Amino acid sequence: MHTVVELRVNGDRRTVGVPSHYTLLETLRYGLGLTGSKQGCDKGDCGACTVLRDGEAVLSCIMPVHEAAGHEITTVEGLADGSAPHPLQDALDLTGGAQCGFCTPGILCSAHGLLARKPDPGREDIARALSGNLCRCTGYTKIFEAVDIAAEALRTGVTPEAIAARRRDPAEAP
């Protein structure tokens, strides 16, 4: 049996017909063609499917799509500002925090949710916020550094590139 669902995704109102058993992830990927959120474990363990519901990180692979109706859903595709990447995306690139990239969309959404509620997080805050996102490639250090750089960029208006350069060589500080 199919159902018609009206969602607000990345600022746009979208109506889609999907099988009634679909999760939010299946609806985003197969109903709406938003393939940034990855389908990993399908049981809420890996975090590759993480999106934001009203600004809070949620696992879209275990959320029935009807639980997303009436909420603002933000996927990794909705983080950038037009053609300009979000500071989190810039920082992850600068630090080498994205290796194979499979976990990256979920990590970006989890980190975005953290920075929205806590603009100046400590390392423990970052680790806690990303604890549901598994990455087999990086060892997390570069990811944590990227979130810290993005947090500073968002607070100060300084570009992630300038912050990363200053941290590499304090003599390069603007």
Domains of the chain, by residue range, sit at: 2-78, 87-168
pTM as predicted: 0.94
Tens of pLDDT, residue by residue over 28-64, are 999 999 999 999 999 999 999 999 999 999 999 999 9
Q: Report CA dihedral (29, 82, 54, 122) to the nearest 10 degrees.
A: 110
Low-confidence ranges of the chain (pLDDT < 70): 172-174
Distance of CA 97 to the CA centre of its chain: 13
Instruction: Out of 2.60.40.10, 3.40.1500.10, 3.90.1170.50, 3.10.20.30, select the CATH number for domain 2-78.
Output: 3.10.20.30
